[in-house]
Amino acid sequence: MEYGFTTAAYVVASVLFILSLGGLSGQESAKRAIWYGIAGMGLAVLATLFGPGAGNWFLSLVMIVIGGTGGWIVAKRVQMTEMPQLVAAMHSLVGLAAVFVGFNAQIELARVMRARLEGVETVWTGFAALLASKTSAEIAMLKIEVFLGVFIGAVTFTGSVVAFAKLSGRVDGKPKKLPGGHMLNAGALALAVLFGILYFTGVGPGVFWLIVITLLAFFIGYHLIMGIGGADMPVVVSMLNSYSGWAAAAIGFTLGNDLLIVTGALVGSSGAILSYIMCKAMNRNFVSVILGGFGGETGPAAEIEGEQIAIDADGVASALNEADSVVIVPGYGMAVAQAQGAVSELTRKLRAAGKTVRFAIHPVAGRLPGHMNVLLAEAKVPYDIVLEMDEINEDFPSTDVVIIIGSNDIVNPAAQDDPNSPIAGMPVLEVWRAKQVFVSKRGQGTGYSGIENPLFFKENTRMFYGDAKDSINKLLPMID
C-alpha cells in the first residue's frame, strides 16, 4: 500500500513538473507554471517522508525548516539583478548534494559487503536494506551510478561556484587557463576514469578512490569555467543547469528514487536543449561549450577609428520627440540600475504621444536566459511590443531612434566585421543601421566582458553617460 501511494504521488509530481517546465515558455503561463512546480515539489517531499523506508522524521523536519527558512530569507533579499548568481549558487548545492549522497552510498555499501563477507546476519533498515537486497550485478551497476553522481556533482559544484564568483564580480570575467589548457582537463578526466575503474573493480578502499575522483572533478569544474569569458556566461549558467540535472538523476539511480530520476532527466535534458539553442544564437559550437573551449580571443582585434561623442538629456529628448519609431534595447546595465520602471514609464509616454515603440531582446541579453523579459514583465511593459532578435533585426534601417540601455556585446558590430573578435560570428542586433543610436552607459569602459565596441564610435551614435535610471528619469519630463 505504501509503495502504491508513493508511486502514485511521484507520478503526479512528475506530471506537475512537466507542466511547470512547459508553462515557462510563455510569460502569462509562467505564473501558473510556478505554482505547478511548487505543488509538485511539496507532494514529492511529503511522499518521500511518509513513503517506505523513511525514518528520522524529526531530523528531516528540522532540516526542512532550516532549508525552507534559508530559502525564504534568500528569496526576500536577492534583487532581480542578482538572479543569475543565485541560480549558479543553487546549481552548486545540487552538485554538492550528489557528492554527499555518493559518499554515503559507498559507506553504507561497505558496511553491507563487510557483513556479507563475515557471514553476519543483520537486520538492515533504510538505505542499507535496499543495498542488502541487491545482487552482485546490481551492486556493480550501483558503483557506476555512484561514480557518475560524484564526478558530475563535483564538476557542477566547483563550476557553479566559479560562475557565481564571475557573475557577482568577485572574479574577473576574462577567460583564464592554467598552462597546458585543455590537456590539463583531459589528463584529469583520464585519471578520474582510471581511478573509477579501480573503484569499480574493488581494488583498495572505495572511499579513497572516491575522494581522489572528487578532487579531480573539482579541478575540472574550476578550470572549465575559469576558461570561459564573461560574454558567454549566460550559456555557462544554462550548461551548469544541465549538469545539475544529470547529477540529480544519478542520485535518483543510487537511491532507487524514480522521481529524482525523472526530474533530474527533465532538468538535464531541458538545460542541454537550452544550451544548444543559445549556442546557435551565439554561433558557438555546442561541443566547445561543454569542453569550456570558448570565450577567448583568436587574434589581435581590429583597430577602432573615431571617438565617442557624448550627448545630454536635452539632445536625446529632442530626438525622441521628433521620432516616429523607437526601439529600446535593454541589457544588464538596465538591471543593475533597476531602471525597468523608468523605462516602462518612458515607453508609456512615447506611445501616448503616438510613436511606435518596441523592445529588441537578444537571446543572451543579460546574464541569464530570459532575464530581460522578466524585468520588463515586472515593470508591466506590454508583451506584444517585446520582440526577439529575429523578429526585429530587419526593421532597424527604418527605425528613427534606438536607445541602448546597458548592452554591449549583443549590439557589437565587431561580431560581423572582425574575425579576431572574441564574439566573431555571433548574431547581434544590428542597431547601427538605425538613423540615430543613443547608448545609455555609465562610462567609457568596455564593460563586463572586456570587449571593445565599435558601435560607440560610429557617426550616428551618441553616448548618453550616467546611471541608466537617472538618465531615463531626466528624459521623462521632456517628452511631449
Q: Which residues are catalytic?
A: 409
User: Whose CA is closest to 152, among 102, 208, 223, 212?
Assistant: 102
Output the nine-digit C-alpha cell for 356.
Answer: 511606435
Distance, C-alpha 466 to centroid of its chain: 29
d(Cα 313, Cα 191) in Å, to the nearest integer?
60
- DSSP symbols for 322-358: H-SEEEEEE-HHHHHHT-HHHHHHHHHHHHHTT-EEE
Output the nine-digit C-alpha cell for 339.
Answer: 531602471
Output the nine-digit C-alpha cell for 434.
Answer: 538605425
Distance, C-alpha 382 to centroid of its chain: 25
Residue type at position 217: A
User: Whose CA is closest to 278, among 410, 153, 177, 398?
Assistant: 410
Output the nine-digit C-alpha cell for 230.
Answer: 564573461
**Order of strands, edge to edge, in the sheet holding 436-441?**
386-388, 356-361, 325-330, 401-405, 436-441, 461-465
Cβ-based neighbours of 242, under 8 Å, separated by 6 or more: 267, 268, 269, 270, 271, 272, 274, 275
Q: Are 340 and 379 in contact (CB under 8 A)?
A: yes
Residue type at position 14: S
For helices 233-255 and 83-118, give the axis angle rounded to 10 degrees.
Answer: 30
User: Whose CA is closest to 444, among 425, 470, 463?
Assistant: 463
R_g (Cα) of the chain, nearest Å: 26
